[in-house]
Amino acid sequence: MIERIPEFNHQPRQESFFEKQFFLNKIYFERNTGLYVDELTRMAYSSQENRFIAVPQTEQRRSLEVLFHSESSTIFVPPPTPGTITIKDLPVMAVPVVKFIDTTQPDVVVGCDRGARIYALAVHSMWGKIQEQRLLTLDGKMHFARLSTSLGLDVTSEALFRIIKASTVEADCQGKRINSKWLRVMFIDDLIASGATRDQIMSSLQEIDLLPKVDVSFAVMCGSGADVTGSSRKVSIPWHDNPEVIGVNYTSDGQPFAVRTAEARNVRRQLYQATRELIATK
């Protein structure tokens, strides 16, 4: 008599509310960032009150909503939809960062590495369209630097020193003062794969004697579509750290230089066109 093999019914894993709303796997998020979902606050920008307000955890996701981690002063911006992030999505994801900049009033804004270049440019472009003025930084500019952990601490420290020095010199020439008691610096990045880059930045600031005399904040993408680490998880950003498309690369000492290609110019045109189209719908 042949023994009957019991049937095995595979039950697919059910997505949590957190995953459905923000396209983030809770386990991956907590393991890779060192943060806990329970430490995050859902925040949505209120145009009526001109500020971010807390959103109840059980509500459906609102537009212009972000996740906020108070201790590290970080906003995590999810993509509009799951899957591949396109150039047209970046202006949408830039709007909460523009509001975050307006709220926190940073003296210096830095776009990190190659990956964040296009996202930071989207923020800069959207700022000009919404606020109709230059950035409220010391020199009115957005800066870029490679702050990767693959570089030595001396390299990233020197890169930040150059940026902050240039900003404060320009501010002195214009007779401007910092926006608060301490210097405020914001970093824009394209991923939240780990806390390593943040640790590198904080160590660099300490190396140049700015900690604890500086307020630091971060604005980063989140969601499976924002992961460009090359890990086993889904990679779905078309430009994937490609200097020929992004339009910038960095020297061995972390200084940016332009990469002028037809692909980079085309990406810029698409980005600015998408920004104009989004503004036109508002």
pLDDT in tens, the chain (282 residues): 556 665 656 566 567 777 777 777 777 778 777 788 889 899 988 777 778 888 887 777 776 789 899 998 999 888 887 667 788 889 999 999 999 999 899 999 999 887 788 899 999 999 999 988 999 899 999 999 888 888 889 999 999 999 999 999 988 888 888 877 889 999 998 765 557 788 889 999 999 999 888 999 999 887 655 544 433 444 456 666 788 888 888 888 777 888 999 998 998 999 999 999 999 886
Helix (H, G, I), strand (E, B) or coil at 246: helix
- List, in order, residues 6 or more apart from 116 with CB less than 8 Å away: 188, 189, 190
- List, in order, residues 6 or more apart from 14 with CB less than 8 Å away: none
Rounded-to-integer distance, Cα 138 and Cα 178, Å: 7
Q: What are the CA-CA distances from residue 249 to residues 94, 106, 197, 242 (Å)?
A: 22, 25, 18, 9
pLDDT, position 233: 41
Structure tokens at 224: 């499976």
Handedness of CA 187, 188, 191, 192 (dihedral sign): positive
Rounded-to-integer distance, Cα 276 and Cα 260, Å: 23
Q: Provide the pairing of β-strand 183-189 with 214-221.
A: parallel
Under a CB-based contact definition with an 8 Å cutoff, are residues 86 and 117 in contact? Answer: no
Q: What are the CA-CA distances from residue 116 to residues 55, 104, 133, 146 (Å)?
A: 27, 20, 22, 10
Rounded-to-integer distance, Cα 124 and Cα 109, Å: 10
Judged on CB neighbours under 10 Å (0-12, 13-18, 19+), 176 is middle
pLDDT, position 234: 47
Q: Which residues pair with 45 in a beta bridge?
A: 52
Structure tokens at 31: 């393991």
pLDDT digits (tens, 9 = 90+) for 205-249: 999 999 888 999 999 887 655 544 433 444 456 666 788 888 888
Buried b (16+ CB within 10 A) or exposed e, 56-72: eeeeeeeebbbbbbeeb
CA dihedral 42, 48, 50, 52 (to 10 degrees): -10
The number of beta carbons lying within 10 Å of the beta carbon of residue 54 is: 10
pTM for the predicted model, two decimal places: 0.87
pLDDT, position 11: 60
Rounded-to-integer distance, Cα 209 and Cα 161, Å: 10
DSSP 63: T
Of 222, 182, 178, nearest in space to 74 by CA = 222
